[in-house]
Amino acid sequence: MNRKIQAALISVFYKEGLEPIVRQLHQDGVVIYSTGGTQIFIEELGLPCKSVESVTDYPSILGGRVKTLHPKVFGGILARRNFDEDKKHVAAFEIPLFDLVIVDLYPFEETVASTNEETRIIEKIDIGGVSLIRAAAKNHQDVCIVASRKQYPAFVQLLTKNASATSLEERRALAAEAFAECAHYDVAISNYFNQSKQILRYGENPHQSASFNGNLDDLFEKLNGKELSYNNIVDIDAACHLLAEFNETIFAIIKHTNVCGVAARDTVDASWEAALAGDPESAFGGVLVTNATINLATAQKINEIFFEVLIAPAFDNEALELLKSKKNRILLLQKKNIESTVQVKNVLNGTLQQDADNINFAEWHDVGAREATALEQADLRFANVVCKHLKSNAIVIAKNMQLIGKGCGQTSRIDALRQALEKARQFEFSLEGAVLASDAFFPFDDCVKMAKEVGITAVVQPGGSMRDNDSIEFCKANGMAMVMTKARHFKH
């Protein structure tokens, strides 16, 4: 059975979209109570509105910090309509009953993103709003709660359809949304107090404001250069996650979170030369990362190109002096490996959370014409890790622990392979004896056929296609090794 709204308490920060709601409530005979700016907004629409002060006999005090925190207000929300004892208290203390509460929260996250002035941020921690929302949501048996302007369009339709009456099912659904709104708000506040905030010059593009919440000093010592940008931090994150996968002496070059050059060699300067050779064009303006000490010989070679950031666990004094010759060049001494267990992404009107992709293969199963040789196995493991860190669809071609071709961010796997082959040819790499890694299964046998044509001898992929056997049989018939890992590595 629907419950008719007799009285509503409305106190919001954002007024956009509120007018149709208050007009519908007025049309249906609902008595509206409000505070401050919301009351002025409603009265300027020519609609009657009672002040909360007329209920509490107290004005808004402490610069607006205390407006609705009063027993008569919360009594009117929390009173249980079918409890005799509650009815006695309502009558004794002349408490008006509220059947609808429309309250939003101060823009805390927006304020954090726009300023580093703590007094302004603190003032945007809502107290009364959260309390009103939780009270109304708790008593959803009798009270309807609207806790966000995002709900306004749907709510005005509900009012119009039902002449300002709501069902228990509707009130319960709105209560669930209200509790989620409070939880998100509390997490944002907790994050602010538990992490240091750094205002960035801008976001991915100059028209986007941005900040970083975290403690970079825990991971790095900055030895030189300008302030890190949003894009720098994103690429540094990608670089450090890749680096953490290897025990060998590695050098890698990252552009827009994708690996454009990476190699493992016995020495740091040899690793740098091989990584750069993989794609010297894309290395321009990149983020460089290694797990070895930067010596003078390596620094002299690196100094010949333009790059944004160099990350290393240590720098020899002469190397550091040379690299610091350009004042904007960012040099980071990495104190420890980055570790991630959870990944979070903002999507639609919520967040997605997943475990980090911290495995490289679930099994190592030779299914081709033969077992991979020791050299092929080393290259396959190397290629599989590199492929995991590229945007899907991704293909990696590697040889002698060096990335020699890659395709990433493609809408078909065969296009990713074509891109990888074009890169390898562009820089005149021999593909004879190279290996290929795929981040997901081959839907057809076209990739292994193309790989065979250019001299690739071994392939690693997770498997799982209904047509796996087509690729397997081709490899068996053509002397190619194929390893299945049962671990897909999509990255979006």
Indicate which residues carry an active-site annotation: 138, 256
Tokens of 165: 């009456």
Tokens of 154: 């749907």
d(CA 462, CA 169): 46
Alpha-carbon torsion 61, 62, 64, 70, what sign? negative
Distance set, CA 165 to CA 2, 65, 156, 160 (Å)? 6, 32, 11, 9
Cβ(249)–Cβ(237) below 8 Å: no
- The secondary structure element, H or E, covering residue 171 is helix 168-194
Contacts of 245 (CB under 8 A, 6+ apart): 360, 385, 388, 389
| Sequence-ordered strand ranges (E) for 283-434 | 286-290, 307-312, 330-334, 342-347, 350-355, 365-366, 395-398, 403-407
Q: What burial class does residue 190 get, using C-beta atoms within 10 Å of its C-beta: 0-12 exposed, 13-18 middle, 19+ buried?
A: exposed
Cβ(458)–Cβ(379) below 8 Å: yes
